[in-house]
Amino acid sequence: MMALFKLREVQLVAVIIAMIGLIAIRFPSFVEPSSLGNVFNDTSILIILALGQMVVILTKCVDLSTAATLALCGMVAAMLNNLYPDLPVALLLLAAILTGALAGAVNGLLVWKLDIPPIVVTLGTMTIYRGIIFLISDGKWINAHEMTDGFKALPRASLLGVPVLSLAAIIVIVIMAIALKRLATGRAFFAVGGNPHAAVYTGIDVGKTRFIAFVISGTLSGLAGYLWIARYAVAYVDIALGFELDVVAACVIGGVSIAGGIGSVAGAVLGSLFLGTIKNALPVINISPFWQLAISGSVIILAVAFNARAERRKGRVILKKAEVAA
């Protein structure tokens, strides 16, 4: 009976492997371990963001401000680094994460306390957060030479042969997997999205649970913000512009239901990897990167149509024989 949940993930794995296999026939270098490792490494930030987004979507909300939050947090870290080059990188990382948590808390409070539809809140904060970047940076870029070497080095460093960027994604995956499965709040996310009305009856505070989801999403965007800025060694207003759509797409492809209550860590990760594989494969197979947007769009539509078929309710089961069959 749990098969349905797992089925989606198995299918995704199969599709990703088939895709890699097809590419490998023509371009064997794509399947070398280092090359596949690169795919994961390149997708790490998307994975981190998708996991935050998934928690929000589980509670029947959506966070369109993730990319703007990422850019804001990255800029905060980069500016601190630029102004106080002596601050340890760990402190800058913390600053980015806290800024993200704060941005998420603002979203969450507006949804919780004022009951404003999440799509409106995050559409609004999405432009506001980008505007704030402009205000604090005066519209200027912070380029590689204005950042300290330590600041830029961390995401490229590696520990036991694993790049720190990938390591960050792996740690987030593990923490989220445990939290969603084994914390009461983790289960509350599913309950709130699956049946908000019933969640009240079981004593779950729906608004507060959504608030927590937004804070998690913001926090992970903060982490991703530092990683992004440090990795690409540049910070400006339009960093990661439109990336929130890739994040939502990764979730939808991973089987997270936009209606709330359905989704899994494995699904969100695989959805991200699916997009990441396409992104990395396009240059290898000599297709212009301009194709990428249209491909992700088509994949989103196919995925949501697919999800809807899997979720379609069978209606009440009244007949005894039907119950046996179900």
Partner 1 sequence: MMPVEKSSEPRFVRDRLQGRSERIVKSWESLLLLVAVVIFLVNVWSSPYFLDPWNLSDATFNFTEKGLIAFALALVIISGEIDLSVASILALASTLMGLAMTHGAGVPELVLIGLGTGLVCGAINGLLVSRLGLPSIVVTIGTMSLFRGISYIILGDKAFTGYPADFAWFGQGYVFWVFSVELVLFVLVAVFFAVLLHMTSFGRMIYAIGNNPVAAQFSGVRVERVKFILFLLSGLMSGLAAVCLTSRLGSTRPSIATGWELEAVTMAVLGGINILGGSGRIGGVVLAALIMGMVTFGFGLLNVPGIVMSIFVGLLLILVIAIPKVLNRLAPAKKRG
Partner 2 sequence: MTSMTSSDIKADTGKVPESGPAIRLSGISKSFPGVRALNGVNLSLYPGSVTALVGENGAGKSTLVKILTGIYQPDEGEIRCDGAPVRFATTMDAARLGVTAIHQETVLFDELTVAENIFLGHQPKNRFGLIDWSRMNADARAILERIGARIDPEMRLRDLGIANRHLVAISRALSVNARVVIMDEPTAALSHKEIGELYELVFKLKAEGKAILFISHKFDEIFRIADRYTVFRDGEMVGEGLLADVSQNDLVRLMVGRDVGQVFPKVPAEIGGTVLTVSGYSHPTEFEDIGFDLKRGEILGFYGLIGAGRSEVMQALFGITRPSKGAIRIDNELAVIRSPAEAVARGIVYVPEDRGRQGAVTAMPIFANVTLPSLSRTSRHGFVRMAEEFALAREYTARLDLRAAALDQEVGTLSGGNQQKVVIAKWLATKPKVIILDEPTKGIDIGSKAAVHAFMSELAGQGLSVIMVSSEIPEIMGMSDRVIVMREGRIAGTFAREGLTPEMLVRAAAGIGETP
Q: Which is nearer to partner 1, 119 or 174 (CB)?
A: 119
| Span 252-271, contacts to partner 1 by CB under 8 A | 252, 258-259
| C-alpha Rg value of the chain to the nearest Å | 20
Are 144 and 233 a contacting pair, CB within 8 Å?
yes
- At its nearest, how many Å lie between partner 2 and the CB of residue 116? 19
At 260 the three-state DSSP class reads coil
Residue 102 touching partner 1 (CB under 8 A): no
φ/ψ of 24, rounded to 5, equals -65, -30
Rounded CA-CA distance 285/273 in Å is 18
Gap between the terminal Cα atoms of the chain: 9
Residue 304: burial class (beta carbons within 10 Å; 0-12, 13-18, 19+)? middle
- Tell me the H-state helices in 59-157: 66-83, 89-113, 118-137, 149-153
Report CA 42 to chain centroid distance, whole Å: 13
Residue 237 touching partner 1 (CB under 8 A): yes
Question: If you count them, how many residues does the chain have?
Answer: 326
Stretch that binds partner 1, among 41-49, 74-82, 111-119, 168-176 (CB under 8 A): 111-119
| Binding residue for partner 1, selected from 19, 82, 89, 134, defined by CB under 8 A | 134
- Give me the residues that bind partner 2 (CB under 8 A), please: 1-2, 178, 181-184, 187-188, 190-191, 194-195, 197-204, 261-262, 314-320, 322-323, 326
- At its nearest, how many Å lie between partner 1 and the CB of residue 194? 16
Stretch that binds partner 1, among 38-46, 94-102, 151-159, 299-307 (CB under 8 A): 299-307
Residue 310 touching partner 1 (CB under 8 A): no
Q: Which does 120 bind (CB under 5 to 8 A by kind): partner 2, partner 1, none?
A: partner 1
Q: Which does 195 bind (CB under 5 to 8 A by kind): partner 2, partner 1, none?
A: partner 2
Number of residues that bind partner 1 (CB under 8 A): 44
Are 234 and 142 a contacting pair, CB within 8 Å?
yes
Are 253 and 8 a contacting pair, CB within 8 Å?
no
At 159 the three-state DSSP class reads strand
Q: Which is nearer to partner 2, 177 or 234 (CB)?
A: 177
Q: Which is nearer to partner 1, 41 or 59 (CB)?
A: 59
* Residue 20: closest CA among 40, 5, 3: 40
Q: Which does 25 bind (CB under 5 to 8 A by kind): partner 2, partner 1, none?
A: none
Which positions touch partner 1 (CB under 8 A)? 62, 110, 114-117, 119-121, 123-128, 130-132, 134-135, 139, 237, 245, 248-249, 252, 258-259, 288, 290-301, 304-305, 308
